[in-house]
């Protein structure tokens, strides 16, 4: 019985960890496909895009001051020159890409 409980605990841990890793990979992959062209691979847009589109780096204080919920809303609904991604990405993909983007500010 003990061995069975340990096996079940190990399987549960594996499933939970693989889900977390998959979620992180989804955010990174979505960001690379949909966001990187404007926001840059490391969260720093190229100077031409930054000037023409008003895109700020992930590390900019005005960007860092936004909450995750605000960033999700901006990504979903668009703002100024940024297009809306609602209907193009799932809510989970938007959330994951925002979470990934926020890691680039560190």
104-to-7, 14, 77, 87 alpha-carbon distances in Å: 37, 27, 22, 25
Looking at residue 106, what is its pLDDT?
Answer: 81
Cα distances from 37 to residues 14, 23, 33, 67, in angstroms, run 34, 21, 8, 23
Q: Could you tell me the residue range of the domain that residue 52 belongs to? A: 2-103
CATH of the domain at 38: 1.10.760.10
Confidence at residue 8, expressed as pLDDT on a 0 to 100 scale: 52
**14-73: pLDDT as tens digits:** 544 444 444 446 899 999 999 999 999 999 999 999 999 999 999 999 999 999 999 999
pLDDT greater than 60 at residue 7? no
Question: Where residue 78 falls among pLDDT bands split at 50, 70, 90?
Answer: very high
- The total domain count for the chain is 1
SS3 56: coil
């Amino acid at each position: 019985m003990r061995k069975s409980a340990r096996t079940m605990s190990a399987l549960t841990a594996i499933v939970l960890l693989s889900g977390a890793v998959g979620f992180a990979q989804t955010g990174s992959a979505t960001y690379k496909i949909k966001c990187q062209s404007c926001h840059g691979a490391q969260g720093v847009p190229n100077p031409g895009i930054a000037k023409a589109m008003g895109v700020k780096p992930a590390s900019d204080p005005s960007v860092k001051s936004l909450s995750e919920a605000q960033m999700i809303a901006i990504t979903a609904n668009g703002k100024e020159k940024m297009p809306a991604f609602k209907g193009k990405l799932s809510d989970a993909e938007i959330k994951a890409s925002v979470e990934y983007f926020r890691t680039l500010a560190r």
